[in-house]
Amino acid sequence: MAQKKSQTKNSSNCAICYYRSSPRPQSEAAIERQKEAAYEWAKANGYEILREYQDVANSGTNDERPGYQGMLDEVSVLMPSVLLLWNADRLGRDPFEITAARKAMADAGCQVCYVAGGASDGGSSGLALMESMLAVMADCHSK
């Protein structure tokens, strides 16, 4: 039986942020709300934002988003402690894609934190279950 790899959070006070807006009117306002919440969270929790990624007016059903791909490509190089997201569906709307992205973050020692709800993964399987359910609901909503 294979042993489970221990995934520990990086000890820096560095964060990265990912913002996404759906292809609907008022996309810029949605991005600005996400940024404000991320900066408030970072300041309140003593984190410095290293890098921001964004995809404006881009559906979460498509993983070929430039900002999203850039974030996935750079997380293992930057090694931030946290990824700040507005909520789970900003990462994507496909449960399998979200799982793959969360694994990439965990493998790089980066904890996922939702600034709109104040939740973070912290290694919690309960949050991962909640996130999976939200992803399935978001996927159904998209279809």
User: Token pair of 92, please?
Assistant: 């994507």
What element of type H or E holds 84? strand 82-85
State residue 19's pLDDT score.
96
Over 90: is that where the pLDDT of 9 sits?
Answer: no
- What pLDDT score was predicted for residue 16? 98
Q: Per-residue pLDDT tens for 23-82?
A: 877 677 899 999 999 999 999 999 999 999 999 988 888 889 999 999 999 999 999 999
CA 65, CA 10: separation in Å to the nearest integer?
A: 26
pLDDT band at 138 (very low <50, low <70, confident <90, very high): low
- Which residues sit opposite 111 in a β-bridge? 82
Residue-level pLDDT at 130: 53
Q: Which of 8-17, 49-58, 120-129 reaches the highest mean pLDDT?
A: 49-58
What's the confidence (pLDDT) of residue 15? Answer: 97
- Indicate the DSSP class of residue 81: S
CATH 3.90.1150.200 fits 14-142, yes or no: no
Burial classification of residue 4, based on how many CB atoms lie within 10 Å of its CB (0-12 exposed, 13-18 middle, 19 or more buried): exposed
Domain definitions of the chain by residue range: 14-142
Residue 5 has a pLDDT of 47
Q: Which residue has the higher pLDDT, 112 or 126?
A: 112
The proportion of the chain whose per-residue pLDDT surpasses 70, expressed as a percent, equals: 75
